Structure 1
């Protein structure tokens, strides 16, 4: 780190759990943020402010006037502009030292696979189950930690799905194909600060994973009732018959058994 970086990130460096080594890990990290809306806005801003080296910001949407109530990456002047370009400009002003890669597309197929493979950690800040499941499958394939968040009305949830341990994947908790009601802010509404709370928590989990400090939310689902401002933490287990991660978990277990054999 140069002198400017030592000064900029000094309040991180003062924390013994982070220090110079942890901050250098952040500066070298690449984070994929899927969604530049209500959750992606605070998540990306805290990641950039904290010194994440590269942020790949993916979103195929344009800024709409109704977004401005909660999507703090964007301003009235951004209406009609691709969210990733508006976000790139805001994040560059916040921290010119963070490299922003705007991806104005809905990542899917080989493109999604490529971006997940490049990332150190992936943040799911999107608003539909099809994308969530596609991202989960890619993260399972590449053994990349996935930080998932959701917010609707006054209710939020956050978890970490990390196949490097024994925890579940997203599919274990929310199986694809089940009759799950898809609710969106455009129809149901959302309390503006709720997206900030959930998105900031996603950023915190991502930073901890990169630095290697603390205990992540892997194996736990954190639920927030914003009306009562009450948090609940629920332990979640891996599904041994999961069609997405079971074979990967078995292969990892076999590899560990072979490595420990005399």
Structure 2
């Protein structure tokens, strides 16, 4: 009671909502900048089980923004590095470490067992693979992205009438899109978006989510914009389900 008292006191959460968080299984795909902030806040909030998926290793250049890692873990797998920090933060959260890049088979299997998947990846092919898995299993998806000074956030709930999926908004695999390595990114920006991914996940699990809205953030002006996104009747992904 003492550990979660500050959020249990909220009317919208309460003991019942805290119990729902404790029963939840959430997967974080990518333990970079977005995943660092999201995973830390989810573990702190008392999520019962976290699956961490990442096949990359910690590098010195990551530490400017990937705050779940540290200098002592350079060269270590990112999912395993993050698990050490999360376990130290909350020993009650069960942590599963998946040291591999997220492919279709692994993502589909994960989506079938999870309540929510967080897309904290850094490339469009992986984002579309995560979306396909969530659509096929009707698993809620919290998508985040950040590059340069711009961020975006979207909550998707496949299977609901009229609900869009990620491919309704972003067509193609985006293989030619810029990366943070090429274009740069500000550290606190990914922390902002990752923290909001954790927030939206908590809202999803406690029945308070608003889905199908694309939020974009300009860190230079601190301005937000949002668009309500309908399902695309010609979407090659979700319209087949």
Equivalences for residues 38-57 of structure 1 within 5 A? 38-57=33-52
Does residue 247 of the first structure (1) align with residue 237 of the second (2)? no
Match of 1:260 in 2: none
Distance 2:181 2:122 in 1: 10
Deviates more, 1:163-172 or 1:224-233: 163-172
Report SS of the residue matched to 1:7. coil
Between Structure 1 and Structure 2, whose CA radius of gyration is higher? 1
Following TM superposition, by how much is the alpha carbon of 1:243 offset from its aligned partner in structure 2, in angstroms? 1.1
Q: Is the 8 A contact 2:153 2:215 kept in 1?
A: yes
Match of 2:143 among 122, 145, 148: 148
Distance 1:52 1:9 in 2: 11
Match of 1:252 in 2: none
Report SS of the residue matched to 2:227. strand
* Number of residue pairs matched by the alignment: 240
Distance 1:186 1:34 in 2: 19
Match of 2:217 in 1: 224
Q: Is the 8 A contact 2:123 2:175 kept in 1?
A: no
Does residue 196 of the first structure (1) align with residue 191 of the second (2)? yes
- TM-score with structure 1 setting the length: 0.89
Does residue 205 of the first structure (1) align with residue 200 of the second (2)? yes
Does residue 104 of the first structure (1) align with residue 99 of the second (2)? yes
Distance 1:27 1:87 in 2: 20
- TM-score with structure 2 setting the length: 0.97
Distance 2:107 2:154 in 1: 21
Distance 2:139 2:49 in 1: 16
Runs of 4+ in 1 over 2 A off after TM superposition: none
Distance 1:23 1:80 in 2: 36
